[in-house]
Amino acid sequence: MRFLRSKIGKTVHCDQRARAPRCLSAAAILSKEVPSELTFIPDYFSLHEQCVLLKASLTKLDAVESRQALRHRKSLPPLPPCISPTKAADIFLPDRYYHFYEGHLDGVIRNYRETHLTAWPEHELQGLTPVLKRLYDLTPTRDVQTHLLHLASDGEIRPHVDNVTASGNWILGVSLGADRILRLESMDESDNYDVLLPSGSLYIQEGNLRYNYKHSILNAREFRGEKLAGGQRLSIMIRDLFRPNLV
Ligand SMILES: O=C(O)CCC(=O)C(=O)O
């Protein structure tokens, strides 16, 4: 695993930009060292960038909401400007203002909204283009599809392997909002890894980890004895396009 391009256990990550600056050691975010097919950067996006990405994502998700849900929100004040130190979690409205779906058809996701993106609102949101460049610069290959997934405070994603004919051999996820745990678990359940995903973090799972490990996003209240605040989380999921010769 690549972790801040440094050695596990030696790296200390301090988020000085948070309202309450905090330091997380590698050991504090990982349950144990995970395989080389996982890239994890715990603080890839600054608070300002997180705010810009989150606003753009919420705009796209709102565009596919029912009129009733949008009317319900109309009387509310506009979203706060992205001026540091706005935390990503402060950008969300309370859960009751969103229309979260209870369950996915295949039963994997609970209490969520989602949309598949065709384009980002680059003309509507100042500052979005350079942030998107930093994001898409990290994709291992260039032909990609983007999916936005907004979990309610009690939302979760149960263990699954992404449909192997719907995308290629890597999956990139950006986490915005509440800290959640990513669990990677081998098919026979003999091996598993937990990774705490702070807001602004980015992970890429590839190869064996993409095809032979189930992944899930837990709604746990603690990680390694530390309490988690809970709350909504939005992920930007980017995948490469399916190529038959990869499976
Ligand atoms: O939100 C995430 O980080 C994972 C999303 C996921 O499991 C999926 O889209 O299949």
Q: Once rounded to an integer, what is the mean pLDDT over residues 41-45?
A: 94
pLDDT digits (tens, 9 = 90+) for 107-124: 899 999 999 999 999 999
- In which domain, by residue range, is 162 found? 8-246
Average pLDDT, whole number, for the chain? 85
CA 185 to ligand 1 centroid distance, Å: 14
Binning pLDDT at 50, 70 and 90, where does residue 74 land?
A: confident
- Cα distance between residue 119 and residue 136, in whole Å: 13
On whether residue 26 sits in a domain, the answer given is yes
- CATH, residue 148: 2.60.120.590
Q: Kindly report the CA angle at 97 between 94 and 100, in degrees rounded to 5?
A: 100
Q: CB of 149 closer than 6 A to ligand 1?
A: yes
On whether residue 1 sits in a domain, the answer given is no
Model confidence at 5: pLDDT above 60: no
The residue that leads in pLDDT, 25 or 95, is 95
> Can you give the pLDDT at residue 127?
93
Contact between 39 and 203 under an 8 Å Cβ cutoff? The reply is yes
Q: CB of 162 closer than 6 A to ligand 1?
A: yes
The residue that leads in pLDDT, 90 or 11, is 90
Q: Once rounded to an integer, what is the mean pLDDT over residues 139-152?
A: 96
Helix axes 47-63, 128-136, angle to 10 degrees: 100
| Token couple for 130 | 């350079």
pLDDT digits (tens, 9 = 90+) for 52-68: 999 999 999 998 887 87
| Token couple for 162 | 């992404």
Give residues with Cβ within 8 angstroms of 28, minimum separation 6: 196, 224, 226
Q: What share of the chain is helix, strand, coil (3-state, %, to 5)?
A: 20, 35, 45
Q: What is the number of the ligand 1 atom nearest to the C-alpha of 147? A: 9
Model confidence at 20: pLDDT above 60: no
- Cα distance between residue 224 and residue 194, in whole Å: 10
On whether residue 3 sits in a domain, the answer given is no
Residue 209's alpha-carbon distances to 25, 46, 90, 158, in angstroms, are: 23, 28, 33, 16
On whether residue 116 sits in a domain, the answer given is yes
Domain count, the chain: 1
Binning pLDDT at 50, 70 and 90, where does residue 106 land?
A: low
- Cα distance between residue 150 and residue 111, in whole Å: 9
- With b meaning 16 or more CB within 10 Å and e meaning fewer, what string describes 54-81? bbbbbebbeeeeeeeeeebeeeeeebee
pLDDT digits (tens, 9 = 90+) for 202-228: 999 999 999 999 999 999 999 989 999
On whether residue 16 sits in a domain, the answer given is yes
- Pocket test of ligand 1: the residue of 105, 149, 213 to mutate, having most ligand atoms within 8 Å of its CB, is 149
Binning pLDDT at 50, 70 and 90, where does residue 27 land?
A: low
> Can you give the pLDDT at residue 26?
55
On whether residue 128 sits in a domain, the answer given is yes
On whether residue 194 sits in a domain, the answer given is yes
On whether residue 225 sits in a domain, the answer given is yes
Binning pLDDT at 50, 70 and 90, where does residue 200 land?
A: very high
> Can you give the pLDDT at residue 65?
85
CA 138 to ligand 1 centroid distance, Å: 18
